[in-house]
Amino acid sequence: MADAQRPIPPAVQRLVLLGFFGIYGGFLALPRVQATPGLFWAIAGTWLGFAVWLGALALGARRRGQTLGMQFMPRKPHLVQIVMHSSVFAYWGWYWENVYAQVPLIIAQVFFAYLVDVGLSWKRYGNFRMSFGHWNIVGSTNLFLWFKDDWFALQLGMIALAYLAREYVKWEREGKSVHIFNPSAIGLTVAALGLIVTQQVHHTWGPEISVTLGYGPFAFEQMFLAGVVVQLFFAVGLVTASAAVSAVLLGLLWYAITGTWLFVDTAIPIAVFLGMTLLVTDPVSSPYTDGGKIAFGVLYSVGVMGLYILLRGMERPALGEDPGLTVAFFDKVLQVPLMNLMVRWIDRVFGGIPVRAWTERLVRLVRPADRPRPTGPAAIYAGGGLSHRVAHVVLWTGAFVAIRPQLIEHPGADPAFWQTRCDNGADATACENWRRVLVGACDAGTG
């Protein structure tokens, strides 16, 4: 799974560190950064802070006779994740130009992340392991929330919190010390809670992100394909499959009970589908057993449903100087840290479900029965080997084909459905849902 660790010579280490500082500081030259004081000082202030912090660590190590080191530890799956995240950004940006404009600030966050990790690693271990994983933590965070330029310091705060939690909040699983919380999700969750409590969501692009992700006519298909590629390297296919299928079934149950559609115009909102595909699927902070993965996915969808109902009830429209409050789009992140805390219990309770036995026949089509399977810590990522990951992808592909009509040809996407319920006074949200469907169709250029 991982290439061998490669020590970086001292002379090259200095060049790497100077490169991190030079690239991160170089973003101060961008016209957009210079034109926005909040953005400029967020980068300049943290650049100076890193210089002082890392300089102090280096001086302290020299006094103790300690050598601070660096190692290059590339992981091929990290490169795959970078490509898949980039494909989502590229497709999304084709239909919403703000994405391409945000790319320089996303890259700035990557080098901020490198500098944070250098400091934390040198402080704790005296050694920094450089990899491509920083691109993925930053990428997955930026698929769900951007602070506006004047508030960019809080965007950097999310990234810093992700690394602090990854480094300091750990436990033992399968004999290894691993992080408890999904790094991207913990940063997003803390930011979301702060924004909800202070009612400052209008200082972010969160509401727009949750809608514009679906502007492309094949957005669901593109995210599905990106997720499948990742699932061939990480054993997370069952999480996504169970989350998506259970979300559709819960939506149908809601309709049977209430006569209305919970998520308005689709069985799974596009940003929630992205969360199922590329956020909640961190292999370290999710269950290791197949039964646990299925339960984890179902729990995620139950959490989405409950949070959506709760958060939408808190919303209010903009009126005069009141910017309003839009918070339902946080339904995809708030439950994840709590779920991360439950994964050992989930594995104990649901790990005995004979899921692997059910898929063994399918597995034999792609793996000879006598081929050995990975064991121990390696199985965390391998999930029984490539053949089992392929089997889970096959199952997820079949499920996606089955639920796809509920995603893109949903009855709730017809304005007439909500107009009729609005005219009849059938439920309190019908008129607002009618407005949302009409506005969404116009914004996406389909109505």
Phi, psi (rounded to 5 degrees) for 369: -60, -25
DSSP string, 113-146: HHHHHHHHHHHHTSEEEE-SHHHHHHHHHHTT--
Token pair listed for 262: 């919970």
Distance CA 222, CA 56 (A): 46
Token pair listed for 373: 């399977």
Distance CA 365, CA 145 (A): 42
Distance CA 158, CA 155 (A): 5
Distance CA 260, CA 422 (A): 11
What angle do the packed helices 237-258 and 270-278 form, to 10 degrees?
150
If pLDDT is split at 50, 70 and 90, which confidence band does 368 have? very low
DSSP string, 356-391: HHHHHHHHHTTS-TTSPPP-TTHHHHHTT-HHHHHH
Per-residue confidence (pLDDT) for residue 4, from 0 to 100? 66
351 vs 218, residue with greater confidence: 218
How many Cβ atoms from other residues are within 10 Å of residue 124's Cβ? Answer: 10
Tens of pLDDT, residues 276-335? 999 999 999 999 999 999 999 999 999 999 999 999 999 999 999 999 999 999 999 999
Name the least confident of 129-138, 316-325, 355-364.
355-364
Reduced 3-state DSSP string for 272-327: HHHHHHHCCCCCCCCCCCHHHHHHHHHHHHHHHHHHHHHHHCCCECCECCECCECC
Q: Which residues, listed in sequence order, are joined to residue 316 by a DSSP beta bridge?
A: 325
User: How far is residue 139 from each of residues 84, 281, 306, measured CA to CA in Å?
Assistant: 10, 14, 27
Distance CA 87, CA 76 (A): 17
pLDDT exceeds cutoff 70 at 443: no
Distance CA 225, CA 424 (A): 41
Tens of pLDDT, residues 190-215? 999 999 999 999 999 999 999 999 99
Distance CA 388, CA 289 (A): 12
Domain boundaries, the chain: 75-97+141-410, 414-447
How many Cβ atoms from other residues are within 10 Å of residue 57's Cβ? Answer: 18
Mean pLDDT (the chain, rounded):
92
Distance CA 167, CA 172 (A): 13
Per-residue confidence (pLDDT) for residue 369, from 0 to 100? 46
For a pLDDT cut of 90, what percent of the chain falls above it? 81
Distance CA 134, CA 114 (A): 7
Residue closest to 340 by CA, chosen among 178, 195, 192: 178
Per-residue confidence (pLDDT) for residue 429, from 0 to 100? 84
Tens of pLDDT, residues 369-420? 444 555 444 454 455 678 889 989 999 999 999 999 999 999 999 999 998 9
Per-residue confidence (pLDDT) for residue 196, from 0 to 100? 98
Place of tokens 């597995």: 363
Tens of pLDDT, residues 66-103? 999 999 999 888 999 999 999 999 999 999 999 999 99
